[in-house]
Structure 1
Amino acid sequence: MLNCFSADFPVQAVLWYTDTLKSKTNLEEHSSLITDVRFSPSMSRLATSSFDKTVRVWDADNPGYSLRTFMGHSASVMSLDFHPNKDDLICSCDGDGEIRYWSINNGSCARVFKGGTTQMRFQPHLGRYLAAAAENVVSILDVETGLSAFISASVSEDAVRVWTVGSGNEGECVHELSCNGNKFHSCVFHPRYLSLLTLELWNLPENKTVTLAAHDGLIADLAVSTVTGLIASASHDKFVKLWK
């Protein structure tokens, strides 16, 4: 199944079957614009965040009503993510830069700190780090031991950059892809070909790109399946497309 935003009903998220391309159901409990949708990598759950300052967790197999509603943010919740290997942990950030860790089982807030306002993602597979974006800064957060070296990617309207982050406060940009007239809004690493970023395919070691004419409107977000390698793109042209 594939998550996406509904262009006609912005306070709903629509759940789709990717094999038949038919909708399964609409998730309708938010009272304002939905800002992010994420699936749990290990369980049949998904979560939504909204301008209504809440995070809701749903059972993907039985999504008639939300399992949990997390309240506590004082501003619009802009992004969220499931921890890749801790089933109980979900994280969200709001427009005031507040990041909250939530316990799904207890329905409580486990930790609050500052760092992100627009988007956040856990490090895939391990989840030791959290990347949080705020304006033109990407913070790499390790709430237990501090910063340690690894690779991350950031995207802005004018460029995509790949970083190596060491033990200090500053990261080093090791690859950069200029927009050449395009405007970038999202990027993902391919799960099988780790040297590729999409949807403008970028081979990092060879620094070669292939541009795909994917949509008629702005591509607002990308998601990638770690199981099949399929990539989903969502656009302002009201289409969601699957790529392989």
Structure 2
Amino acid sequence: MVTALVRCTELGSFHTFPSAIAMSELTWTALRGHSEWIENCCFSPDGRLLATSSGDETVRLWDLTKPGYPAVAVLSHPDSYAVWSCDFSRDGGLLCTCTDTGGVHVWKMPKRDREGNLKTSEGHLVRSFCSKDAHGFPTSLYRCRFSPCFNYLAACGVDRTIKIWCWREYDVFQATLVGHKNSVEDLAFAPDPDSHLPNFQIASCSRDRTTRLWTGRVGGNDLQCKILQGQGGPKWALAVSFSPDGSLLATCCSDGTVQIWCTRTLTEPRVLTGHTSTVWSGSFLHTAADRLVLATCSSDKTVRLWDPVSGKQLLQAERVMSGAADPNLEELFCCRLSPDGRLLACCANDNNVYLASIDGKF
């Protein structure tokens, strides 16, 4: 794998790259079952399951090893409100979700038998938390994420903070990161697969038009917060994502651009241009061919794949939702690349999630 130092050096100083004219017609399969818009999705680490969270108060699990990608489990939430986010733990055994009423839930995933079939269609709820503001009232949460080290998860939302929970057999520890001046839209843990210590690096973005990088020890006194400032002033970022080795950070912005930061230097970002409206989501993949790819989706109804180091656009996919009954519902909220590099998933507000095969293309 290319080292972080090399990647940071290649990024160099500030550049803006025009989009390529590359067009591609991917074949999309619609997964139907949710009765409301789908806000977020995530692949299991082995690439065999896709989880989708929806305004219909449920999370659905789709079996990607079966023809047609059937829905094999429905996780109904105890607080009965929109589920904004979902995320698998590093080993794939747990799934965390968060809701519009401040609920954070941890689910144990169904196991498979020797033939690869899921033994049950139920996910078991093992723990729940509640995010409350300074007055003790529950606050709406937008995102939840597991940390690379086990038993830590974080959530962010309306109350302008990031809350981190660590649970053990008999107690629960909670820390709160304070600094943002408006709702926190998204957060991401930097990958650190070899760490078993409660140290972390978290990126967060907010409606206060700042993207922050938090570094330190959970509960410690050495917490540092760096506000990322690029040329042209602060950008309103809607999503943040780290590359698989943590050397790069992508921020997806409301002005249609994507900023690529080197996490070692945090100098001027590389700016990817091409989208013509808000970029809602970004997802990195390090392919089997040793190539780093970034997928983004936007209100311009396109999904684009980029080489984030060179700035080159590799693919522009349109008509993702060509089968939608109402073209006015063509809004893509989230895109994810599967860990095995086979699939691209996009969540939409027409109540469907769309899958396309990209195996071998990159």
TM-score after normalising by structure 2: 0.56
Which shifted more, 217-226 or 194-203? 194-203
Which residue is equivalent to 1:202? 261
Match of 1:26 among 22, 26, 30: 30
Counterparts in 2 of 1:181 and 1:101: CA distance versus 1, 3 Å: closer
Deviation at residue 188 of structure 1 after TM alignment? 1.1
Distance in 2 between the 1:206 and 1:43 partners?
A: 32
Q: CA deviation at 1:171?
A: 7.7
User: Which residue of 147, 167, 178 corresponds with 2:229?
Assistant: 178
Distance 1:212 1:59 in 2: 34
Partner Cα distance (2:249, 2:216) in 1: 18
Alignment-derived partner of residue 109 in structure 2: 104
**Farther off after superposition, 53-62 or 106-115:** 106-115
Give structure 1 regions of 4+ aligned residues with deviation exceeding 4 angstroms. none
The answer for unaligned runs of 5 or more in structure 2 is 1-23, 111-121, 132-139, 176-197, 251-257, 308-362
Q: Partner residue of 2:273? A: 213
Q: Name the residue aligned to 2:136.
A: none
Q: For structure 1, list consecutive stretches of 5 or more residues without a partner in the other structure.
A: 1-19
Match of 1:188 among 238, 241, 246: 241
SS at match of 2:272: coil
Give the aligned partner of residue 195 of structure 2: none
What's the CA shift string for 1:55-106, capped at 9, x where partnerless?
A: 0000123244311001124210000011121x33111110001011122215
- Residue type at the aligned position of 2:248: L
- Shift, 1:127, TM fit: 4.0
- Alpha-carbon contact 2:60-2:75 (below 8 Å) kept: yes
Q: Structure 2 CA distance, aligned partners of 1:184 and 1:173?
A: 21
Name whichever of 66-75 and 177-186 sits farther off.
Answer: 177-186
Letter in 2 for 1:163: W
Counterpart residue number, 1:151:
201
Q: Give the Cα separation in 1 of the matches to 2:274 and 2:94.
A: 34
Q: Which of 290, 301, 304 matches 1:241?
A: 304
Aligned to 2:17: none
Q: 1:40: how far off? A: 0.7
| Mean Cα deviation higher: 115-124 or 134-143 | 115-124
- How many matched pairs? 222
**Alignment partner, residue 65 of structure 1:** 70
How big is the shift at 1:24?
4.3
> Does the Cα contact within 8 Å between 2:86 and 2:95 map onto a contact in 1?
yes
SS class of match (1:118): strand
Q: Match of 2:130, as an amino acid? A: K
1:28–1:170: structure 2 CA closer, same or farther, 3 Å change rule?
farther
Distance 1:121 1:176, change over 3 A: same
Q: CA RMSD in A?
A: 2.3
Q: Deviations over 1:27-70 (max 9, x none)?
A: 11000010111111124110101000000000123244311001
2:129 alignment partner, one of 113, 120, 128: 113
**C-alpha separation between the residues in 2 aligned to 1:171 and 1:22?**
48
Question: Contact between 1:196 and 1:203, CA under 8 Å: does it hold in 2?
Answer: yes
Q: Which residue does 2:283 correspond to in 1?
A: 223
Which residue of 130, 134, 139 maps to 2:163? 139
Counterpart CA distance in 1 for 2:270 and 2:218 is 34
What is the distance in 1 between the residues matched to 2:29 and 2:125?
Answer: 29
Q: 1:44 aligns with which of 48, 54, 59?
A: 48
* Inter-CA distance 42–117: structure 2 relative to 1 (3 Å threshold): same
**Residues of 2 paired with 1:39 and 1:95: CA distance?**
22
